[in-house]
Amino acid sequence: MPLVRIDIKQNPDTSYAKRLGKVVYESMKAAINVPDKDNFQVLTEHDDDHIVYDPTYLGIKRTDGVVFIQITLNEGRTTEQKKLLYKTIAENLNREVGVRLEDVFISLVEVKKENWSFGNGIAQYAS
């Protein structure tokens, strides 16, 4: 059960954030086998004063089109699976939405399965 947070600068296209979310979800399904309907996202747009990034950190030239993606998911995926996920998300966002590869910033947060409650105050994945 991934929980995806996508943060971007405000965009005049009111469908832009939702399109980003769709691409990220489809990329997770393809790269790390996230199941159908397991789609939970928080999409947030910020004004210029509330999103900060270094435009050249690690020699990567970022623009105001930077897309921050934080994915909280169960631990256990291999480094190879994570690399495939990063590549799949970046390439799909580039191809389908026009996001520059350099502007795709991804952070994974891995948690134990018992750290989720999907509702009703129950830890559905706890053994």
The answer to whether the beta carbons of residues 34 and 2 sit under 8 Å apart is: yes
Classify 17 as helix, strand or coil: helix
2 classed as catalytic: yes
Asked if residues 36 and 29 have their Cβ atoms less than 8 Å apart, the reply is: yes
Q: Can you tell me whether residue 88 is helix, strand or coil?
A: helix
Query: Which amino acids are annotated catalytic?
Result: 2
